[in-house]
Chains A and B, each alone.
Chain A
């Protein structure tokens, strides 16, 4: 159903460490979204890109995350200093012309 690739599938970090995850969107999809899904199943939008440009991001992302979508390289999302509350499933989705989002399998982050 989806060809979005996310790595790694699991990530374990200590508090204060950097945590980096990557996403390869479906070929030809210019828009990429990152979401954080917590243990209560709630989705929190983090940031989205159109090609290499940031379209929207929330305050938390701007302050604590580093994200980019360079051309010809995977998109990445990096927490600069991990906190226990960052433990969650991080989902990347890409969207093509048809407006439908396709999700990757996610990176499950555990911050000890």
Chain B
């Protein structure tokens, strides 16, 4: 099965609303990164997390290593938030990160 499961796989939001994306891990993740990929393929860093929470503007992310999940909350969604959101979990050291399959988000007016 997938070592990093993202949900939902697709999401449609009206501008101005809030939502949450989630990653569940079946690996012992020590760090998590969240990225936003635009339609051209460029990946933008959103968050790098050790267990705990971080906030940046309208985005807030949490990582609970004991319960093996991470969340990304989007507040007051804007059109430019559209794209595919990926989480990547890493066990630590020089081990490669494992990516989820992404959540495709469309924000409409």
A interface, CB within 8 angstroms of B: 1-2, 31, 33, 35, 37, 40-43, 45, 48, 50, 55-56, 89, 91, 98-103, 105-106, 108
Q: Are A101 and B96 in contact (CB under 8 A)?
A: no
B27 to chain A, nearest CB (A): 13
Q: List 27 A-B contacts (CB under 8 A).
A: A2-B43, A2-B44, A33-B96, A40-B101, A41-B102, A42-B99, A42-B101, A43-B86, A43-B88, A45-B96, A45-B97, A55-B94, A56-B94, A56-B95, A89-B41, A91-B43, A99-B31, A99-B90, A100-B33, A101-B45, A101-B88, A101-B97, A103-B35, A103-B42, A103-B43, A103-B45, A105-B40
Inter-chain CA distance A100–B46, complex, in Å, is 11
